[in-house]
Amino acid sequence: MNTTTLTLEGSRRYASPGAFNWIFALLVLAGTAFAFQRYNASMDVYEKAILIGAAPVMIALGWFWGALRLLGLAVGAATLLAIGLYNRHLDGFGADLAQADNVFLLKYFLSSQSAILWMSVLFFMSTIFYWIGFFVRADDNTAQRIGSRMAWAAVFMALVGTMVRWFESHQIAPDIGHIPVSNLYEVFVLFCWMTALFYLYFEQHYRTRALGAFVMLVVSAAVGFLLWYTVVREAHEIQPLVPALQSWWMKLHVPANFIGYGTFALAAMVAFAYLIKQQASETRWYKLAPLWLLGVVLCFEPIVFRQGASSTSTAYWMVYFGISALIVAGILMARRRIAARLPAFELLDDVMYKSIAVGFAFFTVATILGAFWAAEAWGGYWSWDPKETWALIVWLNYAAWLHMRLMKGLRGVPSAWWALVGLAVTTFAFLGVNMFLSGLHSYGEL
C-alpha cells in the first residue's frame, strides 16, 4: 500500500510540476538567453549548440531532483555577484582581475582560488563530521547531518569556483579562455564535487547518511592531492591550452569521463563499507583484507609522489602518510561499531550497482567522444595509445561486472571485491598512465 501511494504521488509530481519548477525553468531560460545575447560573438557554432542544449538538461535535472534547483540558482547568483564585483569599476565589457586582491568578497570567498580553497576545507570538515556520527549515540544523527550540509556547501563552493575560473580565464586574453576541465588541477576539482553530488543524491534517495564517511574519504584524498599539486606545481594559475586541447570535444568528453570516474570511486567506497560490515565480527587479522587493502592504497600514494620531490613535498606526503595510517588503524579498531551503523547489505549492494551502471553509461559515451576527438586531433579514431588502452581496460572491467550481475546474478562479497579492485584499475588509468607511461596524452603528466 505504501509503495502504491508513493508511486501515485511521484506520478502526480512529474505530471504536474509545481510553481517553483516553472519559476526555475524560466530563470534557466532567461539566464541562457542573456548569456547567448552577451557572449554569442565569442562562441563558435558548437559552443552555441552546447549552451542551448544545456538549458533543457538543467531544467530536467532540477525537476528530477529538487535539491539541484536551489543549488543551481545559488551558484548562478554567486557567480553573477563575483562577475559584478570584477566589473564594478569598469564602464564597458571586461573585468579587472586585480580586484581579486582588493575586494573583500572576492579575496576571501568568490574568486576562483578562494572558492576552491573553501571547497577543500569544507570537504575535510564534512568527512570528520560524518565519521564522528559513528561514535555518538545511535539516535543522535546531528554530526552526520552537519557533515551532509558541509558536503553541500563544499559542492556549492566548488561550482562557484569553477564558474568564476571560467570567467577569469576569458578575461586574461581572448586565446586563453576555456572551460576549466583542461588540466589535473581543474579535473580534480571536477572529480571532488561530482563524486560528492552523486553521493548526496543517493543519501537523499535512500535516506541514510552512514555512507558519507566512506565516500568522503576518497573525496578528501583527492583534495589532499589537489592541495599538494597547487603548492608544488602552482597549478591554480590559469594557463593557455595546449593545441591538442583546443577543441570543443573537450567540453563534452572530459565531464562525461569524470562522471564515470566519480561514480566508480563512489561504488568502490560503498563496496569497502560492504566488506567491513561483512567482516565485522572477524577476529583473525589476516582475514581483514579490505582494511589492509585500504591501508596499502593510502600509504602507497605518498611513496609514489615523493620520487624526486623537494623537501617540502616530502614532508607533506609524510604527514599524509601518518594521517592515512591513523585512519586505517582507527577503522580497524572500531570495525564492529562502524558496521552496526551501516545500512543493510541489500541497500549497499543496490547503491553499488546503480553507481557503476551510471558510471559505465557515461564512461561509454566519453570513450566514443574521445574517439571522435582523436580523429580530429591526430587523424585516427584509435591508436592504442597507453591512455586509450587503459580506458578500454576500465570499460571492459565494468562491462564484465555488469554482465555478471545482470546475467549471472553476481552479488555480495565477490561483487564488492570486484568494485574495489576496479578503483585501483581506474586510478591507474587516470593518474598512473600519466606518471609512468608516455604517449599522445602526455600533456596531462605530473
CA 391 remoteness from chain centre: 18
**pLDDT at 441 > cutoff 70:** no
Average pLDDT score, the chain = 84
Give the 3-state secondary structure of residue 111. Answer: coil
Q: What is the mean pLDDT of residues 210-216?
A: 95
Question: Does any domain span residue 24?
Answer: yes
Burial of 113 per CB tally in 10 Å (0-12, 13-18, 19+): middle
Question: Does any domain span residue 248?
Answer: no
Tell me the residue range of the domain where 308 lies. 16-237+253-444
How many Å is the Cα radius of gyration of the chain? 22
Cα–Cα distances in Å, from 24 out to 17, 82, 225?
A: 11, 21, 36
* 53/435: higher pLDDT: 53
**pLDDT at 7 > cutoff 60:** no
Question: Which of 428, 397, 429 lies closest to 415, judged by CA?
Answer: 397
Question: Does any domain span residue 165?
Answer: yes
Question: Does any domain span residue 301?
Answer: yes
Question: Does any domain span residue 7?
Answer: no
User: What is the count of structural domains for the chain?
Assistant: 1
Question: Does any domain span residue 242?
Answer: no
Question: Which of 39, 33, 46 lies closest to 253, judged by CA?
Answer: 46
Per DSSP, the residues of 218-251 read: HHHHHHHHHHHHHHHH-TTS--PPPGGG-STTHH
Grid cell 531532483 is found at 65
Q: Which three cell numbers stand for residue 125?
A: 570538515
Question: Which of 245, 126, 138, 128 lies closest to 197, judged by CA?
Answer: 126
Give the 3-state secondary structure of residue 319. Answer: helix
Per residue in 232-287, pLDDT (tens digit) is: 777 788 888 887 777 878 888 999 999 999 999 999 999 989 988 988 877 666 66
Cα–Cα distances in Å, from 348 out to 168, 204, 342?
A: 41, 14, 9
> Alpha-carbon distance 304 to 396, whole Å?
27
> Can you give the pLDDT at residue 3?
40
> Can you give the pLDDT at residue 8?
37
Question: Does any domain span residue 28?
Answer: yes
Q: Could you tell me the pTM of the whole model?
A: 0.90
Q: Are 201 and 148 in contact (CB under 8 A)?
A: no
> Can you give the pLDDT at residue 442?
56
**pLDDT at 42 > cutoff 70:** yes
Question: Does any domain span residue 10?
Answer: no
- Lowest average pLDDT, out of 125-134, 279-288, 368-377, 406-415, goes to 279-288
Q: Are 297 and 360 in contact (CB under 8 A)?
A: no
Per residue in 53-106, pLDDT (tens digit) is: 889 999 999 999 999 999 999 999 999 999 989 887 655 556 778 888 888 999
Q: What is the mean pLDDT of residues 391-409?
A: 95
Q: Which three cell numbers stand for residue 171?
A: 578575461
Give the 3-state secondary structure of residue 37. Answer: helix
